[in-house]
Amino acid sequence: MAGQVRDYWRNFIGGEWVDAADGRSIPIVDPASGEVISEVACGGAADIDRAVAAAHRAFESRVLLQMTPAERGELMFGIAKQLDGLADEIAEVEVHDNGKTRPNGYKEVALTQRYLRYYGGMADKLEGRQIPLGDGVVDYTVHMPFGVSAQIVPWNGPLPVGARSIACALITGNTVVLKSPEDSPLSLFLFAEACERAGVPKGALSIVCGYGAEAGAALVSHREVDHIVFTGSVETGKSVLRAAAERVIPCVMELGGKSAGIVYRDADLDRTARNVARGIFHHSGQICSAASRVLVHRSIHDVLVEKLRIEAGARSVGPGIEGCDMGPVISEKQLARIEALCRAGVQEGAKLACGGRRLDRPGYFMPPTIFTGVAPQMRIANDEFFGPVLVVIPFDTPEDAIRIANGTDYGLAAGVFTDDLRLAHWTADRLIAGQVYVNDWWVGGVETPFGGAKRSGYGREKGQEALLGYVQTKNVGIRL
């Protein structure tokens, strides 16, 4: 297995592939086996300082701003094209350092290319405006980049999540230093190879793998960082914001979720069960907008639970190389956390319809898990598992459903299942969430803005609106 992945990976800093300044490395563990399969250079404060310095020099040189917007767009198209030749290796490392199935590894490449082409096409369409101030005055606005954009991406989808923020930054003239996740960094190094081959100017992009407490902390507190993009947990997000506050650095924050799907009595239950199961069990539930809570009208509760249990039981769990439906969770630490939260649910009085403990085999495998008898105040109804665990909560009226759905600290996503269009609109209007899906889960795409409300963060990724998080408005007034 280890022979299918390169033995050692260097960081990409200032256009060069380099070892860590202090010579350290991080072991890469295959979550499907628990075995070390590779090593990556462990970036620390000195490596981050070198990367930020290169990004700062590149920004000051105006190497990106001297390109026309159309040329910056062509650069994104070039990166996407280079990924064609790297797709097989990316899919392989996604299986072995991330736990994805091989088909999902290829889908990560296709999604990444979609982001690059979408934002490449947007590069020459971000326009300012002219403001009439009367005779003798010309006044207009332009979009101005911030400078060095520090970006920290999560381990569950590092390639597309990293690519979309890199693309937004580069086409608007910012330079980037990205910290890749130590649990799953390899696909982003292959992305860096694609950028190098496509001719991204030296220093405009650096990718450094390191531990959050070292490399991440050094990056977000660096004196020459002008902008921060963070995707991750609420607790880590708070520490990022504290560092940003010291220097008044603008941030785009995409944090956790405990997203609720509301199922009304008139919903198509077969379709609902399929979509909710996909929403919570895809990638073993390791998705921030996963359908982790389902609120079901009491009259259909038992019927839907049985359909969900059947959906869960139909999914095979095992290594991605074996063609299973669900792979492992990312690490022993994450698996232990999921199991501990499951035990807490049982202690609180919730009942397991299926799952609840790891599979008895090597690797970090958690089967599809469903809790019933869940009350809104229970810990399992409020804390994010970030695993394949669904909690089912009954409700009696639409008002009850809204109160329960909005009753957590999170507000990332929500869902509505009903054949009543008026009720769907009424519910979507009252849900406090950055995106609401109706009669499906993950309705939308690259084109639709994505982000949270409440503790789930602020700012938007994806869609045209994302670009506004990477620029600031400059006004120019001229007395003729």
Give the pLDDT score at 136: 97
Please report the pLDDT score of residue 2 as a whole number.
Answer: 41
Q: Please report which confidence band the pLDDT of residue 323 belongs to, taking 50, 70 and 90 as the band edges.
A: confident
**Read out DSSP for 160-194?**
HHHHHHHHHHHHTT-EEEEEEPTTS-HHHHHHHHH
pTM above 0.85, yes or no: yes
Amino acid at 243: A
* pLDDT surpassing 70 at residue 168: yes
- Name the one residue in this structure whose structure tokens are 């010309």: 138
Residue percentage of the chain with pLDDT more than 90: 98
Given 288, 311, 339, 342, the catalytic residue = 288
Note the pLDDT tens digit of each residue in 212-240: 999 999 999 999 999 999 999 999 999 99
Instruction: Write down the pLDDT at residue 4.
Output: 82
Write down the residue that tokens 């849900």 correspond to.
431
Instruction: Report the pLDDT averaged over residues 87-106.
Output: 95
Helix residue spans in 30-68 (DSSP H): 45-60
Tokens of 101: 């199935």
Place of tokens 């009208």: 297
Q: How far apart are CA 418 and CA 429, in angstroms?
A: 15
Do residues 317 and 324 make contact, with C-beta atoms less than 8 angstroms apart?
yes
Residues 344-354, mean pLDDT to the nearest whole number? 97
Strands (E), 195-283: 205-209, 227-231, 251-254, 260-263
Selecting among 108, 193, 214, 254, the annotated active-site residue is 254
Evaluate the CA torsion angle 289, 435, 447, 154 in order and state its sign.
negative
Per-residue DSSP letter, 393: E
The Cα–Cα gap between 177 and 15 comes to: 12
Active site residue 288: yes
pLDDT of residue 1: 38
Digit-coded pLDDT (tens) for 240-259 = 999 999 999 999 999 999 99
Helix (H) or strand (E) holding 351: strand 351-354
Q: Are 185 and 97 in contact (CB under 8 A)?
A: yes
Task: Round to whole Å and give the CA distance between 114 and 76.
Answer: 10
The average pLDDT across 145-159 equals 97
Across the chain, mean pLDDT equals: 97
One-letter amino acid for residue 48 of the chain: I
Tens-digit pLDDT profile for residues 405-440: 999 999 999 999 999 999 999 999 999 999 999 999
CA pair distance 334, 344, nearest whole angstrom: 15
| Region 144-165 average pLDDT | 97
Q: What percent of the chain has pLDDT over 70?
A: 99
